[in-house]
């Protein structure tokens, strides 16, 4: 009887460790999916279509570019854009691989102030897929976006007059996942 109990405890411990390991690996993609769906923590949502309503109120959108751990130059062609809420905006970013080797990169992004994240939505973005840049290659990436009209009625977000969209390029692990 005692041996059966020890075996059950050992099996439960092994299953617990396996479950926690699986949860650790699943945490990042699940958190990213949660943030994409809810706009939590300033995460931008991917939209399927632009809204039908365009309001008279405008918001100043600032663009911030960063690079982490890759030999590249990354700049926004414009530092700001003023867009009406519900209007589709289009911004361009220039990326140059400054090395003599191909690089595989991905862009992460967020929005500040964080409470505007659910309302800043992208129709098209280079951040949705990994990118491969040849040695010395320069490429221009567009971002098509809008500020959802619901921002104007959200009690916390309706006072927002400026939104900063920040991108950071970092190494991508999977060179086969090119954009």
Residue pLDDT, tens place only, 80-128: 999 999 999 999 999 999 999 999 999 999 999 999 999 999 999 988 7
Beta bridge partners of 166: 64, 110
The alpha carbon of residue 43 and the mean position of all alpha carbons in its chain are separated, in whole angstroms, by 6
Residue whose C-alpha is closest to residue 88's, from 47, 141, 143, 145: 145
Residue whose C-alpha is closest to residue 148's, from 99, 111, 93: 111
Joined tokens for residue 46: 């991917």
- Asked if residue 96 lies in contact with residue 138, where contact means CB atoms within 8 angstroms, the answer is yes
**Residue 143: which H helix or E strand, with range?**
strand 138-147
> By percentage, how much of the chain surpasses pLDDT 90?
61
Q: pLDDT, tens digit, for every residue of 23-81? A: 665 554 554 555 555 444 444 567 778 888 999 999 999 999 999 999 999 999 999 99
**SS3 of 77, please?**
coil
The residue behind tokens 């939104």 is 163
Q: Is the dihedral of CA 133, 99, 67, 27 positive or negative?
A: positive
Averaged pLDDT score across all residues of the chain: 85
The rounded distance, in Å, linking the Cα atoms of 98 and 89 is 29
Is residue 160 very low, low, confident or very high in pLDDT (cuts 50, 70, 90)?
A: very high
């Amino acid at each position: 009887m005692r041996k059966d109990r020890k075996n059950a405890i050992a099996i439960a411990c092994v299953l617990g460790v396996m479950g926690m390991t699986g949860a650790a690996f699943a945490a990042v993609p699940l958190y990213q999916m949660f943030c994409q769906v809810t706009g939590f923590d300033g995460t931008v949502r991917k939209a399927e279509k632009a809204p039908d309503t365009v309001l008279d109120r405008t918001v100043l959108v600032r663009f911030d570019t960063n690079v982490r751990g890759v030999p590249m130059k990354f700049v926004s062609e414009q530092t700001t854009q003023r867009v009406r809420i519900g209007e589709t905006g289009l911004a361009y970013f220039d990326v140059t691989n400054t090395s003599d080797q191909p690089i595989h990169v991905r862009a992460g992004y967020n929005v500040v102030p964080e409470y505007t994240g659910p309302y800043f939505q992208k129709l098209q973005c280079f951040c949705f897929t990994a990118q491969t840049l040849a040695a010395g290659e320069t490429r221009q990436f567009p971002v098509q976006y809008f500020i959802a009209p619901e921002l104007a009625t959200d009690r916390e977000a309706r006072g927002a007059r400026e939104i900063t969209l920040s991108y950071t390029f970092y190494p991508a692990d999977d060179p086969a996942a090119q954009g």
